[in-house]
Amino acid sequence: MKKKLNLYWFVLVITFLFSNLVFAQVSFANDSIFKPQAAAENRVNFDGQGFLIDGQRTFIASAGIEYARIPRELWADRLLRIKRAGMNAVEIYTFWNYHEPVEGQFNFSGNRDLDAFLKLAKSLGLYAIVRVGPYYCAEWGSGGYPVWLQFKDGLTVRQHNAVFEQAVSNFWDHLFPIVINNQINRGGNVILVQLENEHDTGWGTDGVSDPYFKFLQSKALSYGLEVPYFFSGLNHGTEPGGTTPWSSSGRTSPWFTTEFWTNWFDRFGETPDDVVAKDRATWKILSNGGNGYNYYMFHGGSNFDYFNSDPADKSGASYDYGAPIGEGGVLRQEYYKFKRAAWFARSFQSILETSDNATGTYSTAASNSNISVTARQSNAGRILFLDNAGSTDQQTKVNYGGVSYPQTGSLTVKSKEIMPFVANYQVIPGVTLTAAPTRILGITQQINTSTIVIYGQSGSPAEMYFKVPAGTVITSGASALSQDASGNMSLKTTFPASGVSNYSFQTGSSKVRILAVNDALADNTWFVNAGGSNYVVLGPQYVGDANIVSGSLQINAETTWQNASNFPVVAYDSGDSAISMGSITTPGAHPGTLTLSSWQTMSGIDKAATGYNTTGWFSSTTGPKPMGIDGDVSAYAWYRTTANLQTAGTYSITFDKALNNMIPYVDGNVVPSANVSTTGFSANLSPGNHTIAVFVSHNGRDKLFAYRGSLNPRANLGIIGSANIANYNAPTALTSWKTMMTTSSAVGTTPPSSSDTRWTSYTLGGDPFSGAAGYAWFQTTLPSAGSSSIKEVSFNSVDDNSWVYLNGVQIATNTGWNVPFKVNVSNNWNASGANTLTVLVQNTSGIGGINSPVNFEEYSNRSELKNWVQQGGPGDPNSPTGWSTLAGGATFSGPQFFKTTFNASPPGGTGTNPIWRITTTGLSRGSMWVNGHNLGKYPLMISAPGVYVPETWLNTSGTNTLVIYDEQGKRPDQVVVQPEASASRDVIAYSTSPGNPPPSGIVSGNTYRIVNRNSGKVLDVKDQSTADGAIIQQWSYSGGNNQKWVFTQVTGGYWKIKSVNSGKLMDISGASTADGAANIQWPDNGGNNQQWQLVDAGNGYYKIKNRNSEKILDISGASTADGAPDIQWPDIGGTNQMWQILPA
C-alpha cells in the first residue's frame, strides 16, 4: 500500500497531488525565525517586512540542491546554472549518514567536503541556508540516520533521549565548526540555519519548551551559531504562498518557505501543467507578500552508492524530481520561468522587502473584471499584480494615478499568468519609474548605466513612464522616447519581432537604458559578470562561464541537441551599442549508442557454497541479526548456518521477519523461487548436516518520515529474529474476507459475530476507509488442521495497526504498516469445529486495510536454527581477478557480476557534451559502477531513460569500465550505453573578438612540455616525486615523465595540467592568493587553485594564470638555474612569466 503518514502529513501529500485545487499549501502555526546574535546582526538580520543582508533589503531566491547527490567535479557547473537563473542562495542538507557512516569515523573530504562546497558557492555569489538535522528526510536512506544508530541500546530518535543526544553531539562536534566558520559574519556565506526537519512538535520558533528542541537549540548556540535559525522548516507546500495576500503588520519575521515543491520525487521531467502551476505559484508568493522562497528541488541529482530510500518513494539511483535543472544538467521550462521571477524579485527587492498589502486600494485597477489585482506598496514603490486565473488570455488596461495604461492598445495577460505592474520606483537618484505597464525581466547596474530589460509578445505595447530631472538627454531610440517640459519621459513602442530594441536617456553622468525583447528571446537573456563588469548577453539557450580573455568578453554558450532555439548572440556592456559575439569553437559530431566490449562475468554466489570460509564474519549464537550490524552500509548481505536433520522430508525454514528480497541456498544449490515466501522457504532435505545460506538485499532504507521512537526494530532490514525449521505443509492462501466499519471504542472488545448482517465482502488490498482515518473489523475462516501441529497465519502487511483475534479471543497485536508478521494460532485452536480469524485494523491516515497475501501455515517438529554468521556487501566489483568470458546462453542462480568497457571521454570546456545513460533492460535489481564510481541502485523506479553516468567520472584516456551487479544474475545482453538526447548539449565559445580565439594549437587530453621563455628550461616535478605536495621547479629538459604534462580543458576556458609521472595536478599550495606561493602537485580536488587560464602573450608564448588567485606562473627571481622554484606572482610582463607549450 501507499507510504503511510500521520493525518497531518497525509493532508500535505494530498495537497501536492491535487495542486490544481483552490488552496494548495501547508500552513504551520509558527513560521517565525530566531533573531541573529549580536555578532551577526549587522551582516544578516530581518524584521516583519523582509530580510536585510549587509544593511540592504534583500529578497532571498534560493535553490534546493544536495552536494551529496552531485559529483564534486560538477558542483561548479550546477551552482553556476543556479546563479544564472537569478538565484542568490542555495539550501542544503548535511546528511548524517553521509558524513559518519561508521560510528566515530567522520568524513568531510572529497565529495563530502562541506567546507569546500560552501566556499565554492560563496565564490559564485550565492548565500547558503544549511539544514543540519539530525533528521533530514529528502527521500534519503533512513532520512539521514546512520545505520549504526539502530544498534545502540536505549536509543530513541527525535525526542529527549540521552543516548540519541550524545550521538547527535558527537556528529555536530565535527559538523558545526564547518557551518560556524562559514557564517556570513565570519567571512562565509551561511545566512540561515535550520535545526531538525518537519518535526510535528516544533516549527519556526515553536518548540523551545520541548526538552529535545531545547537541547538542539542550546547545543547549536554553544558552537557559536550567530546567524538566524529556526526549527523544522517554514511554509512547505506546492503553493506555499496560498491564494490570499497578507499584511506584514504584526509580523516579527519575514515570510519565507524552505520547501516550495517544484515537482515530486516520483517524477522524471515536467509536464506543461507543471510549468504553468509552479510559475503561477511563484508569482503568488510575490503578490501575496512573500520575502523569499527556496525551491525544493531546483536540482535533484542522483542517489549514488546505497543512499536511496525505499520503493514507496520511487527511489533508485535517480532523484531527478522533475526539477528545473534535470539530473544530467538539462534546463527545463520551469528553469526559464523561475529565472524571470527571480530576477524580477531581486530587481525590486527594495519594494518587496519593505511592503505591506495594498490590495484594497488597487483591487479595481484592471478594466477587465476577469483580471483580479493584488498589490504591494512601500516607500520604495508599488507593484500591482494582474492575475488572470482563467483558461483564456485576457485584454485589459490598468487605471493608475488617474491614467489608463498602456496608453496605446491593451495589455494581454495570458491564461494563468500573474503580471506585475511597477510604479513609483526610483531607478537612480533623480529618475523615478512612475508606471511600467510591461513585463520587466530585471535591472542590472553597468558602471554608470542602469539597464532595464523588458519583454512581451511581438507587436504588443512596450511602454514605460519616468519622471526625470531637467537636462535629461535622450541618447538612443528617440523615435519611441519623448519628454516634456515637466520632466515626464515616456517610452511608447511595441516589442520587436526579433532582436533587441535599445532605448536610453542620460541625466548628468548616469544613463538609463531599456532593452526590449520579445517573449521568446527573454528566456535567452542572461545577466553575467566577467572581469568585474556586468553584461547583458542575449541569444544563447544558456550562458555558462564568462571571462575576459585578452581584453574581450568570452562566454561558453550551450545549445541542446533537441529543441534548439538559436538567436544571434549579442552583448551589452556599459557602452551605447550592442556588441556582436562570434563563435570561436565548433561542437563536433553527436555520438550515438556506444559499442560495448565482450562481457565478462564473475560469480557473486561463492558465499553460498558448502565449506566457504566465513572467518571474520559477524556471528550470533542465536538468530540472524539485522543488516548493517557488521558495519556494512550496502544494500546486500549473506547469512549462513547449518541444520542437522534426523529424517528426510519437506522442511520449512521461516524467519520472524524477512524484509525486502531473499534468495536462499541449501548446500550451495538455489531454492526455486516457487518455494520462497516473504517469511521463509521450503526444501526437500535428506538426513544429515546441511548448509543454509541466504542472500538478502533491500531496495532502499525507509526515510522514517514523521517517525519518533526506537530504530530497533523500526529501521531493521534483512532476516531478523528467530529462525525455525520444521516439517511443512504447503500454505493455504486466505482469500475469503469480509469487513465492517467501527470506531475506536472497538479496541479491547469482543469481535462481532460472523453472522452479523453488517459484514460486507472484502478483497485483500482494498481500502474500506476511503482514504480517511478510522477503524474496521476484518474476518475470515481458517482451514481445518491437525490438533498437534503448529499453526500460524502469515500477514504480508496490515495498514496500519492491528489486533488479531482467534475465535473471539485476542491473541496478538502489531504496530506499523508494510511490515510482514506472523501470528501463532495454535493455542486457542478449535479442533472440533470452525476457527474464525478476526482482525481489528486502525488506519491512521490515507489508504488502509490488509494487503495480500495472507497465508495459513501448518508445521510439525519445529526447532530453532541458531549459530548464524553474516557479512554485508556485494563483494569487490573492482577485483582484478576472478573474471571469465560470459558464455552465450549461460544462466545464473543468484547475484552475479558482469563487466564490459566502452569508449567515451569527459567533455572539454567546449565541444559536444553527451549525457550518457545506461539502460537496464533485461536486468532485475542491482548496482552499477563506472570506473569504480557507484552509480546507485536500479531499477530506477521512475521514467528516467537509464542510469546517469556523470560525465566527469569518465576517464580522460577514453576507455571506461562498466561493472553491473545483478541480484538475480540476469544477463546484460540488452544493456546499452547511449546519450540522453534531451539533456545532451553543445558548448560553443563566443567572443566579442572572434578573431582572437583561445589557444587553438593546444588539444585537450594531449601531452606537452612547458618551456620558460627566460631560461629555456621546462617545468619539472622535483626528484620525479609522486608525493602530494612535491615542488614544481624548472630543470633542463631530459624527456622524463616528470617534465611532461597533460592539458585538459574544463569549463570557462580553463585548463587542468596533470603530471604524466604522478597523475597529480599542478596546484597553488593551500589555495593561497599570496605573492610567492609555491606551485606544487596535488590530487585533483576540483579547486580553482588547480585550474589555469592560458593568456596569449604573443609570439607563441603564454602566461599561465591561476583561476583562484589570478596571479601567473613565475620562475622565482627570474633565475636561469636548474632547481629554481616555480611560484605565482602578479603579472609584471617579465619573460620569466612567459611559457611555450610544446608537444612532448
Q: Which active-site residues does the annotation give?
A: 198, 259
CA distance 190 to 114: 12
Show the beta-strand stretches assigned E in 411-476: 411-413, 418-423, 425-428, 431-435, 439-446, 449-456, 461-467, 473-476
Q: How far is CA 676 from CA 663, 679, 806, in A?
A: 8, 8, 27
CA distance 464 to 467: 10
Q: Among candidates 1094, 1103, 1087, 1099, which has minimal Cα distance to 1136?
A: 1103
Helical residues (DSSP H) of 930-979, grouped into ranges:
none
Residue count (the chain): 1144
DSSP 1074: S
**What are the backbone dihedrals phi and psi of residue 67, each rounded to the nearest 5 degrees, phi first?**
-60, -25
Residue 490 CB neighbour total at 10 angstroms: 16
CA distance 843 to 829: 28
**What are the backbone dihedrals phi and psi of residue 1012, each rounded to the nearest 5 degrees, phi first?**
-75, 135
Q: Among candidates 832, 822, 774, which has minimal Cα distance to 801?
A: 774
Assess contact for 1004 and 1056: CB atoms under 8 A. no
CA distance 523 to 87: 15
The number of angstroms, rounded, from the C-alpha of 486 to the middle of its chain's C-alpha atoms is: 54
Assess contact for 536 and 577: CB atoms under 8 A. no
**What are the backbone dihedrals phi and psi of residue 278, each rounded to the nearest 5 degrees, phi first?**
-75, -35
274 Cβ contact partners less than 8 Å away, ≥ 6 residues apart:
263, 322, 334
What are 411's three cell numbers?
495589455
Residue 863 CB neighbour total at 10 angstroms: 10
CA distance 468 to 487: 5
569 Cβ contact partners less than 8 Å away, ≥ 6 residues apart:
537, 538, 539, 540, 555, 557, 580, 581, 582, 583, 990
Partners of residue 894 on adjacent β-strands: none
Assess contact for 1032 and 1066: CB atoms under 8 A. yes
1137 Cβ contact partners less than 8 Å away, ≥ 6 residues apart:
1103, 1112, 1113, 1114, 1115, 1129, 1131
CA distance 191 to 206: 20
Q: How far is CA 979 from CA 337, 592, 746, 918, 947, in A?
A: 26, 6, 59, 9, 11
DSSP 564: -
Omega of the bond leading into 406 within 30 degrees of 0 (cis): yes
> Mapping DSSP to helix (H, G, I), strand (E, B) and coil, where does residue 918 land?
strand
To which H or E segment does residue 7 belong?
helix 7-17
Partners of residue 1015 on adjacent β-strands: none
Q: Among candidates 972, 923, 971, 980, which has minimal Cα distance to 951?
A: 980
